[in-house]
Amino acid sequence: GEDVEQSLFLSVREGDSSVINCTYTDSSSTYLYWYKQEPGAGLQLLTYIFSNMDMKQDQRLTVLLNKKDKHLSLRIADTQTGDSAIYFCADLGGGADGLTFGKGTHLIIQP
Amino acid sequence: EAGVAQSPRYKIIEKRQSVAFWCNPISGHATLYWYQQILGQGPKLLIQFQNNGVVDDSQLPKDRFSAERLKGVDSTLKIQPAKLEDSAVYLCASSPTRDSSEAFFGQGTRLTVV
C-alpha cells in the first residue's frame, strides 16, 4: 500500500527555523498536507500544496515539494514555543480515498 | 463556521463491551471520514462516506466495527465487542467533496479498553 515516512523527532532552538521532512510513495498524489496536533487536541490543517506546485508560502510556513523525489518539507521560520506539537505529513492519493498519514514528527523547542 | 463535533471526548470500557461514537460534520460537507489514531502513530482511515453511501471501508475490521451515516449528515461508529488493541483516538473528519483539498478534523474521542 501507499506509505508516508517522517522522522520522529526534531529539536530546534527558539527563534531558529525548523525544517520537517517527509517522503511518500504514491506517484498519483493530488494534494499533500501538513497537519499540526497539540496534546489532547484534534488535527489542525496548517497548509497544503497541490502536486503540480513546487513551493507554497504562508506567513512563517514554507512548503517545498520535490515531486521527482517524492519529498515534501515544511519550514517554520522563527520557531516559537507555541509551535511545539506533532506535525503530520499526509497525502491524498489519486483515488481520493482519504488521507494517508505519516507517523508524525515531534517538534521540540529549546529555549 | 462550526467545526466537526464529536462525542464523547473520552470513554473507558472493559474488553468485550460495546461502545459508540458520534460525529456531526461541518454543515454541507458531503464527505465524512473516520480515522483511528493509535498512540505514537499517524491516523489510519477506517471508513469514508460520500453522503450516506460508503466509498471505502477496506481497512474497517468488519467483524467488530460498524459505521453508518443514515441521513447523509451525522455518523456513528460502533465497536462490538471491544478488544484491548482498540484503545486509540477515533477522529472524524469532513470535507466538502470527495476530492476536496481540505479535510477538517474533530477533536476526537479517546477510547481506553481495559
B65 min Cα distance to partner chain A (Å):
18
Q: Work out how many CB contacts closer than 8 A connect A with B.
A: 53
Interface residue of B34, B37, B58, B100 to substitute, partner A, most A CBs within 10 Å: B37
pLDDT at residue B1, as a whole number:
59
Query: B70-90 pLDDT, tens per residue?
Result: 888 999 999 999 999 999 999
Q: What is the pLDDT of residue A71?
A: 96
CB contact under 8 A, B56 and A99: no
Close Cβ partners of A39 (under 8 Å, ≥ 6 residues apart): A85
How much is the pLDDT for B25?
96
Give A95 or B83, the one with higher predicted confidence: B83
Interface membership of A55 toward B (CB under 8 Å): no
Residue-level pLDDT at A105: 97
> Does the pLDDT at position B35 exceed 60?
yes
Residue B33 pLDDT: 94
Please determine, for residue A100, whether its predicted confidence score (pLDDT) is greater than 90: no
Q: Give me the torsion for CA of B68, B72, B73, B78, rounded to 10°.
A: 0
B42 contacts A42? CB cut-off 8 A: no
> Which residues does chain A have within 8 Å of residue B44's beta carbon, measured at their own beta carbons?
101
What is the secondary structure of chain B as a DSSP string?
Answer: ----EEE-SEEEE-TT--EEEEEE--TT--EEEEEEE-TTS--EEEEEEETTEEEE-TTS-TTTEEEE-TTSS-EEEEESS--GGG-EEEEEEEESSTT-S--EE---EEEEE-
Task: Say which of A41, A42, A45 has its CB closest to residue B102.
Answer: A45
Out of B44, B91, B98, the one facing A43 most closely (by C-beta) is B91
CB A4 within 8 A of CB B42: yes
Nearest CA in chain A to B42: A103
Interchain CB distance below 8 Å, A101 and B43: yes
Q: For chain A, what is the mean pLDDT?
A: 91
Separation in Å, CA of B107 to nearest CA in chain A: 4
Q: Which residue of A has its CA nearest to B57?
A: A97
Cell of A50: 497541490
Integer Cα distance of B64 and B51 in angstroms:
23
Residue A54 DSSP symbol: S
For residue B40, count CB atoms less than 10 angstroms from its CB and return exposed for 0-12, middle for 13-18, buried for 19 or more: exposed
CA distance B2 to A45: 15
- pLDDT score of A109 more than 80: yes
Inter-residue contact B29 to B18 (CB < 8 Å): no
State in Å, rounded, how far the first CA of chain A is from the last one.
40
